[in-house]
Amino acid sequence: LAKVSLALHLLAGFMARRALVLGASGQLGRRLCTVFNERQWVAIGADTRGGIPSAHAFVFNAHHTLEEQTQKLLTDLKPLLEESRLDAVVNVAGGFAMGSASDPQVLSATQGMVESSVYSSVMAAHVASCFLKPGGLLVLPGAFAALGPTGFSLPYGSAKAAVHQIVRSLADAEAAGLPAGATTVGLAPKILDTPQNRGAMPDADSSTWATLDEVASQLVDWSVDPTSLQSGHVYVVEKEPGSPATFEAQPAL
């Protein structure tokens, strides 16, 4: 009986779905890891900070180069995955930064946004090229605002538009170096309901903001079955008062 129980345990581990979450210590990243865990996935979290709610968490060394961080992640993933592959790679890193052309800090703010959104997305794509299963899902952190001009924030708009370009470029998976049949989409929320956004916009109507639970649940649903998604598109996240959030595909650029 003990042998049968062990065999079933090992089989369950072998059959479990696996997802890598980049930006896993952020608010959406933490919630996403939790939802993956609740649905019996193996959630693997990675970020530059700790506090990742997963048994499999990797914290990047801030003193390492991007190549060193990426290589370390690949090295750590290999024994964890063994002969299996990732079902999904979801990057929810990013953040926000204001800054018009006249802002004295616009260059440093832009650098920060490029590092958090663009570099992490290229890292996600590279990891996916190595470990994503054929037909798997890659999600990158876009933004609704970047579908139009963002004169109020050159750092945010330019970084997110670059992520949209990456999404578009990965639409043809095999030509872009991804596993056959892989689907790549961008997540483009208008506003998410977070404590930071509530604090920054205390008079705004938060009933039109998608909750972290709604977004995390949708991302897991997509990871289970990405076949309905349009690869190379971004999915705009909107919400009407009293209604659930919607996720509508739009061309990335």
Q: CA dist 181 to 21, 35, 93, 172, 231, Å?
A: 20, 25, 24, 9, 10
In 3D space, the residue among 178, 174, 61 whose CA is nearest the CA of residue 130 turns out to be 178
Buried b (16+ CB within 10 A) or exposed e, 192-221: bbbeebeeeeeeeebeebbbbebbbbbbbe
Q: Where are the alpha helices (DSSP H) in 39-146?
A: 66-81, 106-113, 120-131
- Asked if residue 199 lies in contact with residue 11, where contact means CB atoms within 8 angstroms, the answer is no
Which residues are known catalytic residues?
156
Token pair of 67 as six digits: 């190549």
Express the helix, strand and coil content of the chain in percent, nearest 5 each: 45, 20, 35
- Asked if residue 27 lies in contact with residue 51, where contact means CB atoms within 8 angstroms, the answer is no
Region of residue 194 (left: phi > 0; alpha: psi -120 to 50; beta: else)? beta
Buried b (16+ CB within 10 A) or exposed e, 108-138: ebbeebbebbbbbbbbbbbbbbbbbbeebbb
- Asked if residue 224 lies in contact with residue 18, where contact means CB atoms within 8 angstroms, the answer is no
